[in-house]
Amino acid sequence: MENSKIIGRKKEQHLLNTLCNKKEAQLIAVYGRRRVGKTFLIKNYFNNEFDFFFTGSYNLATNVQLSLFREALQQYSHAAQPNFKTWFEAFAALQTYISSLSKERVVVFIDEIPWMDMPNANFIGAFSYFWNTWGSSCEKLKLFVCGSATTWMLNKFVGDKGGLYGRSNRSIYIAPFSLNETELFLKDRGIVWTRQQITETYMILGGIPYYLDMLDGSLPLSRNIDNLFFNENGNLRREYDFLFRSLYNNSGLHKQIVESLSKKLKGMSQNEIKESIGYQSGGAFSEALENLEKCDFIRKYNSFGKKNKDAIYQLSDQYSLFYLHFVTNHNGQDSHFWENLNAHTHDSWAGYAFEQVCFQHINQIKSKLGIRGTMTNAYSWSCQPKVDKDGTVWKGAQIDLLLQRADQIINICEVKYSKHPYVITADYYSRILERNSTFVHRTKAKEALHNTFITTLGVQRNQFSEAMQSEVVLDDLFKEDPD
């Protein structure tokens, strides 16, 4: 069952349908970064028809939240409820109400559940008791809990080692839209732009529906970006700080990590990040890295031939990258900043941002290359200049994306963002050959190397385009996720 109001999210809707049709009680945790559309998905999938719905409120005292919970329960049960002094009493009343319903399926949705867990509220204990002693055996109950505070969802709910450990039937992570879903979303809002314009939108806002919904289709993209970011009262000008406060308990550490990575776009190791932010020791750092990675703010990868302990972290969240690169030091006086940005500054940012778009669409790249069913690992790789013992000088080299395939082929991908078909010059052709030789020499790779160009508008055919064994263009990245 798919809801026509929901753009994309086909996998998620299929999973919701499967879980709701199970005969056993279901506890489903839905999480993801703020503004990504978690609440919209659940509400519209069920057409806002819940047997009980409640949403926690940011920074409200426990007694206030309990009072609001009581009001919601009265509304749904059409019966007076006593004042609740504890969450144990509140969930006991919810149990009584659900038991009174003579239905085959009872759908309960508790949104922003992390905000209900105030200090000394014993919320987790009360929720655990409710679910473990009764809810899990109530076959008709389908209980959805949702939250943007990712640290809480991952540590206290999805990964709780206490009363809820292993109790949730399924956790559903809501990821940002793909390019395909972004295009569908914009068309649904009456915004008809070229795919290059949509890609640039994606490189700035990411696939975040809440941000995309702020766009005005009657204005050019550049004017939209100025209005959202560079106008003194722009809606996304002050979003950054609130975004991290609402997602993470220790938002200061998370922001330090993200801001450090924004200054070294090719990535940093754990030790390099720690040194950069002056962090000494403690488990909070590793936890912060993991939480940022799980919500698609940063990307963790191993350089080709390196072990997991040598992993590199990159900033991959499009909104944060754009904000830290252009907005954080903007004084708000030039409200036409983006319209007047010089081409060199734009292209420097766009090159990296497009690389991240490609990493976020590996499945589409594999599909175009005809290797969808082939086991493939995606890496980046770089090396410093080196002189061999025999005096041979090897220059440093860098590969943005390489796909190591189980069929003994490595696709060495050249990722190029351009407003015109990309031209391979004689000099660039020579550099490709030299880089490939360096890669084989330094890694001892035995696989065949295929040069793959991933470009916006393709490669212009000339005497040097023979360097390319395959190519992926922007239209390929807009395909629906084949998996």
For 480, the token pair is 């629906």
Within this chain, do residues 136 and 193 fall inside the same structural domain, yes or no? no
Within this chain, do residues 344 and 301 fall inside the same structural domain, yes or no? yes
Question: Does 330 or 215 have the greater pLDDT score?
Answer: 215
Q: Is residue 3 part of a domain?
A: no
Q: Is residue 1 part of a domain?
A: no
Distances (CA, A) of 194 to 279, 395, 475, 478: 45, 40, 11, 12
Within this chain, do residues 278 and 422 fall inside the same structural domain, yes or no? no
Statement: residue 130 has pLDDT above 90: yes
For 274, the token pair is 């720690």
CATH of the domain at 348: 1.10.10.10
Within this chain, do residues 60 and 107 fall inside the same structural domain, yes or no? yes
Statement: residue 160 has pLDDT above 60: no
Within this chain, do residues 329 and 421 fall inside the same structural domain, yes or no? no
Q: Is residue 4 part of a domain?
A: no
What tens digit of pLDDT does each residue of 382-424 get?
888 888 888 888 888 888 899 999 999 999 999 999 989 999 9
Pairing of strands 448-455, 106-111: unpaired
Q: Is residue 2 part of a domain?
A: no
Dihedral pair phi/psi, residue 376, rounded to 5°: -140, 135
Within this chain, do residues 306 and 400 fall inside the same structural domain, yes or no? no
The label of the residue with tokens 């002056």 reads 278
Within this chain, do residues 132 and 251 fall inside the same structural domain, yes or no? no
How far is CA 57 from its chain centroid? 24
How many helices and strands (H and E) does the chain possess?
A: 19, 14
What's the confidence (pLDDT) of residue 291?
83
Residues 6+ apart with CB under 8 A from 72: 52, 53, 54
Residue 146 identity (one-letter amino acid) = C
Q: With bands split at pLDDT 50, 70 and 90, how would you rate the model's confidence at 446? A: very high
What tens digit of pLDDT does each residue of 134-152 get?
999 999 999 999 987 777 7
Does residue 402 contact residue 378 with C-beta atoms inside 8 Å?
yes
Within this chain, do residues 103 and 86 fall inside the same structural domain, yes or no? yes
Nearest 10 degrees: Cα torsion 14, 19, 20, 21:
90
Statement: residue 315 has pLDDT above 90: yes
Residue 199 CA to residue 179 CA, distance in Å, equals: 7
Range of 148-162, 202-216, 329-343 with top mean pLDDT: 202-216
Among 313, 340, 356, identify where a domain stops. Answer: 356
Distances (CA, A) of 410 to 54, 380, 474: 51, 12, 21
Statement: residue 308 has pLDDT above 70: no
Among 114, 146, 173, identify where a domain stops. Answer: 173
What tens digit of pLDDT does each residue of 166-190 get?
666 788 889 999 999 999 999 999 9
Within this chain, do residues 222 and 142 fall inside the same structural domain, yes or no? no
Question: Does 262 or 380 have the greater pLDDT score?
Answer: 262
| Mean pLDDT, residues 247-254 taken together | 79
Within this chain, do residues 321 and 259 fall inside the same structural domain, yes or no? yes
Nearest to 169 by CA among 157, 179, 181, 161: 157
Total domains present in the chain: 3
Statement: residue 165 has pLDDT above 60: no
Among 299, 322, 356, identify where a domain stops. Answer: 356
Domain that holds residue 383: 364-477
Query: Strand, helix or coil at 401?
Result: strand
Q: Is residue 286 part of a domain?
A: yes
Angle, alpha carbons 395-313-428 (nearest 5°)? 30
CATH of the domain at 383: 3.40.1350
Within the chain, what is the greatest distance between any pair of CA atoms?
A: 88
Q: Is residue 73 part of a domain?
A: yes
Within this chain, do residues 138 and 195 fall inside the same structural domain, yes or no? no
What's the confidence (pLDDT) of residue 458?
93
Within this chain, do residues 322 and 376 fall inside the same structural domain, yes or no? no
Q: Is residue 483 part of a domain?
A: no
**Which of 4-8, 79-83, 289-293, 330-334 has the lowest average pLDDT?**
330-334
Residue 200 CA to residue 330 CA, distance in Å, equals: 20
What's the confidence (pLDDT) of residue 164?
65
Q: Is residue 5 part of a domain?
A: no
CATH of the domain at 140: 3.40.50.300
